């Protein structure tokens, strides 16, 4: 193959993935259509994730007005927001509830997109950027958890970061110290302290938002250019116009979700599900209180981490991330039926670990003691 052919091939590849000629009013607005079939509900979750993200953006910016990222003041400033600033409790609750909703939507979006084989050519890059968005979203969750600087926040962060160091035990010789150094690089000092808080704050408020803007921009652009994927093996032939019908439905669902989140945020503080001592300010001199857990959306890796040897989890998570990133090529020839069964199995696993993780843990641990 000559160089010219190779260049031609590369440019064809690029052109197929970035069909810029579709950037016209006609194809973006007038002709855009959404397929109608039994999996159509899956098309709404990407938009919902975007909507939750915009709630996060607005409420997050509002919280910035009063939050103080120092070890001495962080907890007091969060208390000030919750108890003294008008509407502060609502905005903070909205931020926490909507973060959970965002993770839920992102995960559902990923699973339905997988089951609908939405990653098929020419949408590979959209899928990969989606996986990056998932990782960034988890990053938001992990860094944001530390900011209120209460017992559960700091201790759960300690536990999370310590698992980085654990990896050192499986590396030979001089490499064995690298995970520890990596951990200290992340937390900024030997123990979780002011340096960690500053770093996580910077990550949560500046770096991750910049990253998500970049990747999200690319993701949305690709979605606009390529339109909705067909989603099923045998298209029903029924189509819905994107404007105004699908957009209207999308907006009504956003309105409904906002209403639900608003009511929940107004009535139920997120902390209501934990016992109070976990929300006392972090005390570096005291012992760790009972019941330290990560947020529910990390249960699917937290409980296996408790049950299985660490190296196994390390390998498994590496494999999962690799498979996720390589999905468009690994599952190229797989039928939608198989994909759907895989998606169902994954969903069952995620739901079981999230809802019954504690019971599963006790079931297995109870036997060994």
Partner 1 sequence: MLDLFLFVGLPYIALVLMVVLSVYRYRTQRFTYSALGSQFLESNQLRWGSLSWHYGILILLVGHLIPVLLPGVWQALTSIPAFLIGVEVIGIVAAFLALTGLLVLVYRRSTSARVSAVTTTADYLLLILLIAQVLVGVSVATGARWGAIWSTSTTTPYLWSLATFQPQPEYITGLPPTVKLHLVLAWCIFMVVPFTRLVHIFSVPIAYLWRAPQKVVWTTPAPRPSAACAPQFQGRDSRRYFIRGALGTAGALFLLSIGVLEKLGRFFRGPSLNAQQQAELLQKKLERLELAAAERALEIERIEKDYIFVAQLAELSDTDGKYFTDYHMRPALAFKDERGLPLLISAKCTHLGCTVASTIANGRILCPCHVSWFDVKTGMPTPGAPAKAPLPHIGWVLMDPAGNLVASQGAGAAPSGEIDIAQAGSYGVYIAKQFEEIA
Nearer to partner 1, 106 or 161 (CB): 161
At its nearest, how many Å lie between partner 1 and the CB of residue 324? 26
At its nearest, how many Å lie between partner 1 and the CB of residue 368? 6
Nearer to partner 1, 24 or 252 (CB): 252
Q: Is the dihedral of CA 150, 152, 158, 164 positive or negative?
A: negative
User: What number of other Cβ atoms are within 10 A of residue 21's Cβ?
Assistant: 9
User: What number of other Cβ atoms are within 10 A of residue 227's Cβ?
Assistant: 17
Q: Do the beta carbons of residue 129 and residue 222 sit within 8 Å? A: yes
The answer to whether the peptide bond before residue 244 is cis (omega within 30 degrees of 0) is: yes
Nearer to partner 1, 221 or 296 (CB): 296
Nearer to partner 1, 70 or 347 (CB): 70
Nearer to partner 1, 130 or 294 (CB): 294
Exposure string for 116-154, b = 16+ CB within 10 A, e = fewer: bbbbeebbbbbbbbbbbbbebbbbbbbbbbbbbbbbbbb
At its nearest, how many Å lie between partner 1 and the CB of residue 1? 53
CA angle 15, 18, 22 (to 5 degrees): 100
Instruction: Return the bridge partners of 33, or none.
Output: 241
At its nearest, how many Å lie between partner 1 and the CB of residue 239? 13
- Could you list the residues that contact partner 1 (CB under 8 A)? 62, 65-66, 70-73, 75-76, 79-80, 84-88, 90-91, 155, 158-159, 161-163, 166, 189-191, 193-194, 245, 255, 267-268, 272-273, 281, 283-290, 292, 306, 368-369
At its nearest, how many Å lie between partner 1 and the CB of residue 345? 24
At its nearest, how many Å lie between partner 1 and the CB of residue 76? 5
Helix axes 88-115, 44-64, angle to 10 degrees: 150
Nearer to partner 1, 4 or 38 (CB): 38
How far lies 66's CA from each of 63, 80, 104, 198, 253, in Å? Answer: 6, 8, 28, 16, 31
């Amino acid at each position: 193959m000559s160089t010219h052919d190779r260049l031609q091939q590369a440019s064809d590849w690029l052109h197929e993935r970035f069909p810029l000629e579709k950037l016209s009013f006609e194809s973006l607005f007038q002709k855009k259509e959404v397929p109608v079939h039994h999996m159509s509900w899956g098309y709404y979750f990407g938009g919902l994730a975007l909507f939750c993200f915009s709630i996060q953006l607005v409420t997050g910016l509002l919280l910035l007005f009063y939050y103080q990222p120092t070890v001495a003041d962080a907890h007091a400033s969060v208390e000030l927001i919750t108890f003294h600033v008008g509407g502060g409790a609502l905005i903070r609750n909205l931020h926490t509830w909507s973060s959970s909703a965002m993770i839920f939507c992102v995960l559902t979006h990923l699973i339905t997109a997988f089951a609908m084989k939405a990653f098929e050519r020419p949408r590979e890059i959209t899928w990969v950027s989606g996986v990056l968005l998932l990782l960034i979203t988890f990053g938001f969750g992990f860094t944001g958890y530390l900011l209120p600087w209460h017992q559960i926040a700091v201790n759960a962060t300690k536990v999370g970061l310590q698992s980085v160091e654990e990896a050192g035990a499986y590396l030979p010789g001089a490499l064995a110290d690298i995970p520890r150094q990596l951990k200290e690089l992340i937390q900024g000092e030997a123990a979780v302290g002011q340096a960690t808080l500053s770093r996580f704050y910077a990550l949560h408020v500046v770096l991750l938002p910049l990253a998500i803007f970049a990747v999200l921009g690319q993701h949305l652009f690709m979605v606009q250019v390529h339109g909705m994927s067909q989603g099923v093996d045998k298209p029903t032939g029924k189509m819905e116009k994107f404007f105004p019908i699908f957009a209207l439905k999308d907006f009504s669902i956003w309105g409904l979700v906002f209403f639900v989140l608003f009511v929940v945020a107004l009535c139920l503080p997120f902390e209501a599900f934990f016992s109070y001592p976990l929300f006392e300010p972090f005390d570096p001199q005291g012992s760790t209180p009972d019941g330290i857990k990560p947020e529910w959306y990390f249960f699917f890796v937290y409980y296996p981490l408790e049950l299985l040897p660490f190296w196994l989890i390390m390998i498994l998570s590496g494999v999962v991330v690799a498979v996720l990133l390589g999905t468009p090529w690994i599952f190229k020839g797989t039928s939608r039926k198989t994909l759907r069964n895989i998606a169902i199995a994954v969903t069952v696993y995620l739901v079981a670990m999230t809802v019954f993780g504690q019971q599963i843990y006790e079931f297995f641990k109870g036997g060994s003691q």
